[in-house]
Amino acid sequence: MAERNSGDIDDLLRETRRFPPSPAIRAQAHVRDEAIYEDAARDPQAFWARMAAELEWSRPWDAILDWQPPHAKWFVGGRLNASVNCLDRHLRGARRNKAAIVWEGEPGDRRTLTYFDLYREVSAFANVLKALGVRKGDRVAIYLPLVPELAVAMLACARIGAVHNVVFGGFSAESLRDRINDSTCRLLVTADGGYRRGHVVPLKQVADEAVAGAPSIEHVIVVQRIGAAAPVAMSPGRDRWYHELMADAPGACAPEPMDAEDMLYILYTSGTTGKPKGIVHTTGGYLVGTSATTKLVFDLRDEDVYWCTADIGWVTGHSYVVYGPLANGATCVMYEGAPDWPAKDRFWSIIERHGVTILYTAPTAIRAFMRWGAEWPARHDLSTLRLLGSVGEPINPEAWMWYHHHIGGDRCPVLDTWWQTETGAIMIAPLPGVTTLKPGSATRPFPGISAEIRNQRGDAVQVGGGLLALTRPWPSMLRGIYGDPDRFLRQYWSTWGPGVYVTGDGAKRDADGDFWLLGRVDDVINVAGHRLGTMEVESALVDHAGVAEAAVVGKAHEIKGQAIAAFVTLKEGIGMTPALADALKEHVVRKIGAIARPDDILFTADLPKTRSGKIMRRLLRDIAEGKALGDTTTLADPAVVARLKANYEEEYG
């Protein structure tokens, strides 16, 4: 994928086709005209209060917002329980017997849980957690494949007021351990394994390694996903089987009435240092943000079969596989495995089999489908689809058009949705009944959200490029970084004063007022929709005994959006061999997880540095992408970079 810049977008805009909402979409949409934007802009708090009123509260709020920049409290004094809003609330009417989760395992096994089934399972597991000593406010780590028990465990925590800390099943033992320790979790829920491309991922083994260095863990609950094919060691007294505990757990559990501002979960995400940040989300505002955006962006109706393909280990799965859709009483498809298993039409066969109406996926997946060819979707009946969504990275217009043409057809709007772990919910996206779409643009801020493009001086840019800022608080905003209030202030609220949230993304606004996202402007990279810090990967490399110094950059990649390129200097006497390059890649995988495996490793005697010793990543990016070198005048030794470029081209060019 070609990297985006402002000039490209000017060219694009001249040629871009516009897609106004079709009469069919408009006729049925929840939102059909601009009034919602105007009302929300006139009084954003009143707008959010209307959205909040659609949830069930056990105590009404006293005030909508208490804003002491950058600290916000939403729905002050209000009480509610997230699991009640996702489950109990739907049991009173016809949704009681509606499918909540339609799940497919990678090997082809299937399970359907109705809202009543899910309610019973969640309540029983809430009782299990309580019996093992978990109390309100305690942290529970969850390290599972994409099985229904993952949603069950999250909602069970929410039911009793425990704080979940879900760790993506692809992360290493060390990453899991650090995330458990940072938030001192009492209990871990894992599985004997998961399936990925026909192989068993040994989650329990990794979990054991992590827990060996995590003294706060008292119990490990193990879901039996694999069984006899993957026997696991159970540590007596510490480890318990999920199914055994559930066998005699009562199926009703009184929900804990939570303060709107009580913590719902912590989710770790990469930042600009080597240490991931524990993003804190609270109960009331988060649920308001996720439920309102799910309903209005996806124009959700009771008959929909909704599929967000994200793993629940990422924020997209938290907000748009679990909380947003379940709060709306939706039928949610979940799929455990890879899109090309057993063949490259797995997604399309799932859509056909379950009659999926709404598909929400990532540009990386779409670009892989493009590469595999339109003959794969063409084998299936995709006519049930009526809306398509995209998230995780900038979507290039070619991918947007392919998605539109080969998957959605003319009847489906394609909705690009921009947001972050920190924002909790969608911030910039079209509303399907109202917004004119442009391939490659996330279009406009959701009602009640106020976004601006700012230049380095902090002035708002009406038309043109700059840094994306959010200039008003919103209900689902992060409330902090767990255990690190200073980093919260410094990272997000110090550039333009405590009332303006810094997103870390570059963006451009066109003459129609539409937003075009350009990617990160900091040392965060986005590999296949997964967020990683260059410093994290550098720390993993430097951890290897042979490495003296490392510099990591993201380079444009046709499918993954970005790939990792690492420049490494070795210690005295260590040979620059291909075998060592491979060993370093494995070392990074072991330290962080497979998502962090570098594509390229280039050994070098020196790294390009400024006279003050700062590594110039910009130049390394130019080298990795085979571009002409930018300004090198601030370098201590310009010859270093010229040599490096020549070597890189020899190796990878």
Residues engaged in binding ligand 7RM (CB under 6 A): 269, 314-316, 391-394, 416-421, 442, 503-505, 517, 519-520, 526, 531
- State the minimum distance, in angstroms, from the CB of residue 66 to ligand 7RM: 26
- State the minimum distance, in angstroms, from the CB of residue 423 to ligand 7RM: 8
Q: 269 near 276, Cβ under 8 Å? A: yes
Radius of gyration of the chain (CA): 24
Q: 320 near 308, Cβ under 8 Å? A: yes
β-bridge partners, 428: 418, 445
CA–CA distance, 61 with 52 (Å, rounded to integer): 10
- State the minimum distance, in angstroms, from the CB of residue 316 to ligand 7RM: 5
Of residues 120 and 318, the one with the C-beta less far from ligand 7RM = 318
- State the minimum distance, in angstroms, from the CB of residue 102 to ligand 7RM: 23
Of residues 333 and 507, the one with the C-beta less far from ligand 7RM = 507
CA–CA distance, 327 with 630 (Å, rounded to integer): 50
Sign of the alpha-carbon dihedral angle for 123, 127, 128, 129:
positive
CA–CA distance, 494 with 272 (Å, rounded to integer): 15
CA–CA distance, 551 with 156 (Å, rounded to integer): 42
Of residues 357 and 423, the one with the C-beta less far from ligand 7RM = 423
Of residues 226 and 391, the one with the C-beta less far from ligand 7RM = 391
Amino acid at 288: V
Do the strands 263-269 and 163-166 form a parallel or antiparallel pair, or are they unpaired? parallel
Residue 401's H or E segment, with its range, is helix 397-402
Nearest to 425 by CA among 324, 332, 282, 308: 324
Of residues 335 and 516, the one with the C-beta less far from ligand 7RM = 516
Of residues 522 and 549, the one with the C-beta less far from ligand 7RM = 522
- State the minimum distance, in angstroms, from the CB of residue 480 to ligand 7RM: 16
Of residues 328 and 417, the one with the C-beta less far from ligand 7RM = 417
Rounded to 5 degrees, φ, ψ at 582 are: -65, -40
- State the minimum distance, in angstroms, from the CB of residue 422 to ligand 7RM: 7
- State the minimum distance, in angstroms, from the CB of residue 421 to ligand 7RM: 3
Of residues 190 and 390, the one with the C-beta less far from ligand 7RM = 390
- Find the DSSP H helices in 430-533: 485-493
- State the minimum distance, in angstroms, from the CB of residue 401 to ligand 7RM: 16
Q: Tokens at residue 506, please? A: 């570059």
- State the minimum distance, in angstroms, from the CB of residue 213 to ligand 7RM: 26
Task: Residue 452: count other Cβ atoms within 10 Å of its Cβ.
Answer: 22
Of residues 29 and 429, the one with the C-beta less far from ligand 7RM = 429
Of residues 467 and 635, the one with the C-beta less far from ligand 7RM = 467
- State the minimum distance, in angstroms, from the CB of residue 209 to ligand 7RM: 25
Q: Tokens at residue 264, please? A: 């719902």
Amino acid at 545: A
- State the minimum distance, in angstroms, from the CB of residue 45 to ligand 7RM: 25
344: Cβ contacts below 8 Å, ≥ 6 apart: 369, 372, 376
Of residues 36 and 427, the one with the C-beta less far from ligand 7RM = 427
Of residues 526 and 604, the one with the C-beta less far from ligand 7RM = 526
The 3-class SS string of 427-447 reads: CECCCCCCCCECCCCCECECC
DSSP secondary structure letters along 263-320: EEEEEEE--SSSS-EEEEEEHHHHHHHHHHHHHHHTT--TT-EEEE-S-TTSHHHIII
Q: Where are the beta strands (DSSP E) in 144-273?
A: 163-166, 187-191, 194-196, 199-201, 219-223, 239-241, 258-259, 263-269
- State the minimum distance, in angstroms, from the CB of residue 10 to ligand 7RM: 18
